[in-house]
Amino acid sequence: MAQNNLTVWQRLSKAFGPNSLLGQDYPTFKFDKQVLLKTPDKGEYDREKLQAQQTFYLASQWAKIENNLYSQAIYYEPSRLSATYDYESMEYTPEISAALDIYSEESTTVNEDGYMLQIYSESKRIKSVLADLFNNTLDINTNLPMWTRNTCKFGDNFIYLKLDPEKGIVGCQQLPNVEIERHEVGLTDKAPVDLGKAEAKKQLTFKWGNKNMVFQSWEIAHFRLLGDDRKLPYGTSMLEKARRIWKQLLLSEDAMMIYRTSRAPERRIFKVFVGNMNDEDVEAYVNRVADKFKRQQVVDSKTGNVDLRFNQMAVDQDYFVPVRDPASPSPIETLPGAQNLSEIADIEYIQKKLLTALRVPKAFLGFEEVVGDGKNLSLQDIRFARTINRIQKSMIAELNKIAIIHLFLLGFEDEISNFTLGLTNPSTQADLLKIDVWKEKVLLYKDLVADPGNGIQAVSSTWAKKHIFDFSDEEIKLDLMQQRLERAIGEELKNTPTVISKTGIFDNIDKLYGGPMTGSTAPMSGQEPGGEITGPPPSSDLGGLESETPPPTETETPASVTPESFEDRLNILVESNLIEGNIILDLEHGQDSLGEIEKELDKLLKN
């Protein structure tokens, strides 16, 4: 009765909120501190007392660990904020952006029917309800790639679900990942459903800090990649292991660009003849000569002073060196630029480490060409498929929660587990590898259970199924029962001609187009060479044997329409050498004509 007095939101809170506690509730015990046990046996009393003391000690241990985990989550919040800003900056690196696109595309490939999410259920109604939810309401083919990309990028993705008590989930909205906090244990957020202070402290809630809004667990879909327990209760980004390498790569690329711009230009050395000029006047004379060539004065916009000391040497500026020997050879010499501009081994080394951290094959990003027959790429594809499968499992876990909430609100509380969601495996190489493994297992099974010629098999069929196919004893029994049932079905199918002599499917067709000589191209009796039929209608016997010709009547009775003739869009192609062209008969038009004839007859009878 208490359950019937609750609203749908209160029942949803009891299913997903404080009452469920995600399996994190304190242990409950039979005895308390006041009354342990009423018994005349002192030994039993001492034993129960000791057990109660040990039980309360374990409960206190659980509380300490729980508080420690909560403190760890609180300390991670500042680090999470800085990491999120790093992930946003890493987005502008082409290698990382392409890797995120590959994660999203490979995890959300469509099947041969064009569906991204596969729904399996024994109930057609449940399957249709979930198909309408994901394909129409949530538009999963458009939103799931974006959700997957955000989940791989930040490690978390928060989606707000718009709920209706009668229609279930009617919409969704993306929330800013950096502003949403997940509070699990030890918090004092007040729940909208009054379920007790002790339970309210242990509920799972989500908080939007900037808006000062608190959401229940069934209002938010939290997609997360669980990988590092130090970041719980949040997920771990696929870019986390590449953060340090990414910063090193940026510094190395900047250093390389600075070196190329400063050392790459080719310069010239001009030797200026100064003769017996005093040493104090040499510098001023050389500078004056250089100024006449290319150098320009720099005027400080703030002070108006002319400043030449900080005038950076441009690409086209050269060196002027004073000489006293008038016979000095080559007064103008060329100073070559940097000769090792093609040496980028350090950049490539850091780039390889970055790709290793991203766990994306180089060939997928265009950094490596496929050599040989592609076997190396196939092996890389299989390894990468395992990474994609891990991402898909994380996405399916939260999609299951969305489906359960929708079915709960629609009243399917007894069938919230009667479905299975799946995403397409992107790796055909992995599927082919599984097929090859199964082929080898089947061949091995056949060799073991085959008779070598002495009437004694190598092993029994039961042993082979258990050790090759990993069947359990119950699965072996079930397989034997299924084989027996299938054999019985096969024997029944063999007796079909004796049990069913005539199905009646072709009665209407045989009445309209059947002839005494089935399969013959010769014209029937009563048929003129021009193609017109002048004789009585043909026989309707299925066997094609000759039968007595019915006497001609003045008005021909139309052929009866059997239930089988109501098939939608049933077109019959009639080919005849005596009739020019092909005639396509649509039975639907014939049915419509019969209906019009019936209406006209009704009008005549009324008149």
Render pLDDT for 428-444 as a digit per residue (tens, 0 to 9). 666 777 888 889 889 98
User: pLDDT higher for 408 or 201?
Assistant: 408
User: pLDDT higher for 559 or 480?
Assistant: 480
CA separation for the pair 476, 417 (Å, rounded): 26
Assign 331 a pLDDT band (cuts: 50, 70, 90). Answer: low
SS (H, E, C) 239-302: CHHHHHHHHHHHHHHHHHHHHHHHHCCCEEEEEEECCCCCHHHHHHHHHHHHHHHCCCCEECCC
281 found inside a domain: yes
pLDDT value of position 26: 46
% of the chain with per-residue pLDDT over 70: 66
Instruction: State whether the Cα torsion 304-305-309-315 is positive or negative.
Output: positive
Please measure the distance between the N-terminal and C-terminal CA atoms of the chain and give it in whole angstroms: 66
* pLDDT at residue 396 greater than cutoff 90: yes
CA separation for the pair 198, 188 (Å, rounded): 9
Q: What is the DSSP letter of 460?
A: -
**Would you state the structure tokens that stand for residue 280, as one six-digit string?**
């104090």
pLDDT value of position 373: 46
Mean pLDDT, residues 477-504 = 88
User: pLDDT higher for 568 or 492?
Assistant: 492
pLDDT value of position 454: 81
User: pLDDT higher for 77 or 566?
Assistant: 77
Shared-domain flag, residues 320 and 271: yes
Shared-domain flag, residues 120 and 212: yes
Amino acid occupying residue 359? R
DSSP secondary structure letters along 80-140: HHHHHHHHHHHTTSHHHHHHHHHHHHHHT---TTS-SEEEE-S-HHHHHHHHHIIIIIS-H
353 found inside a domain: no
Task: Give the residue carrying structure tokens 């409950």.
Answer: 28
Shared-domain flag, residues 194 and 294: no
Closest CA to 326 of 281, 274, 286: 274
pLDDT value of position 120: 92
* pLDDT at residue 246 greater than cutoff 70: yes
| Element spanning 65, H or E | helix 42-90
**Count of alpha carbons within 13 angstroms of residue 361, beta-carbon side:** 20
Assign 572 a pLDDT band (cuts: 50, 70, 90). Answer: very low
pLDDT tens profile 14-24:
777 554 544 44
* pLDDT at residue 85 greater than cutoff 80: yes
User: pLDDT higher for 292 or 274?
Assistant: 274
Q: Which residues have CB under 8 Å from 342's CB, separation 6+?
A: none
Which phi and psi (to 5°) does residue 421 adopt? -105, 150
CB 140 within 8 A of CB 423: no
CA separation for the pair 419, 121 (Å, rounded): 4
**Would you state the structure tokens that stand for residue 435, as one six-digit string?**
């097929």
Q: Is the pTM of this model over 0.85?
A: no
% of the chain with per-residue pLDDT over 90: 16
Shared-domain flag, residues 412 and 288: no
CA separation for the pair 352, 346 (Å, rounded): 10
**Would you state the structure tokens that stand for residue 543, as one six-digit string?**
């066997």
Domain region containing 511: 507-550+559-606
Shared-domain flag, residues 139 and 57: yes
pLDDT value of position 540: 42
Shared-domain flag, residues 485 and 579: no
CA separation for the pair 140, 223 (Å, rounded): 14
Task: Give the residue carrying structure tokens 């009243």.
Answer: 411
* pLDDT at residue 519 greater than cutoff 70: no
Last residue of a domain, one of 335, 363, 395: 335
Shared-domain flag, residues 517 and 406: no
Q: Burial of 199 by CB count in 10 Å (0-12 exposed, 13-18 middle, 19+ buried)?
A: middle
521 found inside a domain: yes
Beta bridge partners of 220: 160
Shared-domain flag, residues 278 and 397: no
Q: Which residues have CB under 8 Å from 562's CB, separation 6+?
A: 504, 505, 507, 508
pLDDT value of position 313: 53
Pairing assessment for the beta strands 180-183 and 205-208 based on DSSP bridges: antiparallel
360 found inside a domain: no
347 found inside a domain: no
CB 238 within 8 A of CB 213: no
Mean pLDDT, residues 225-240 = 85
Mean pLDDT, residues 230-242 = 86
Q: What is the DSSP letter of 408?
A: H
* pLDDT at residue 236 greater than cutoff 50: yes
110 found inside a domain: yes
Assign 338 a pLDDT band (cuts: 50, 70, 90). Answer: low
Q: How many CB atoms lie within 10 A of CB 143?
A: 16
Shared-domain flag, residues 224 and 271: no
* pLDDT at residue 573 greater than cutoff 70: no
pLDDT value of position 221: 92
Assign 456 a pLDDT band (cuts: 50, 70, 90). Answer: confident
* pLDDT at residue 310 greater than cutoff 50: no
255 found inside a domain: no
Q: Which of 202-206, 296-300, 302-306, 417-421 has the highest mean pLDDT?
A: 417-421
Shared-domain flag, residues 190 and 293: no
192 found inside a domain: yes
Q: Which of 4-8, 392-396, 557-561, 597-601 has the highest mean pLDDT?
A: 392-396
Shared-domain flag, residues 455 and 474: yes
Q: How many domains is the chain partitioned into structurally?
A: 4
- Mean pLDDT over all residues of the chain? 75
Shared-domain flag, residues 452 and 585: no
Assign 314 a pLDDT band (cuts: 50, 70, 90). Answer: low
Mean pLDDT, residues 63-85 = 73
Comparing 93-107, 255-269, 386-400, which segment has the lowest mean pLDDT? 255-269
Instruction: State whether the Cα torsion 349-351-357-362 is positive or negative.
Output: negative
Closest CA to 558 of 506, 531, 593: 593
Q: Which residues have CB under 8 Å from 344's CB, separation 6+?
A: 256
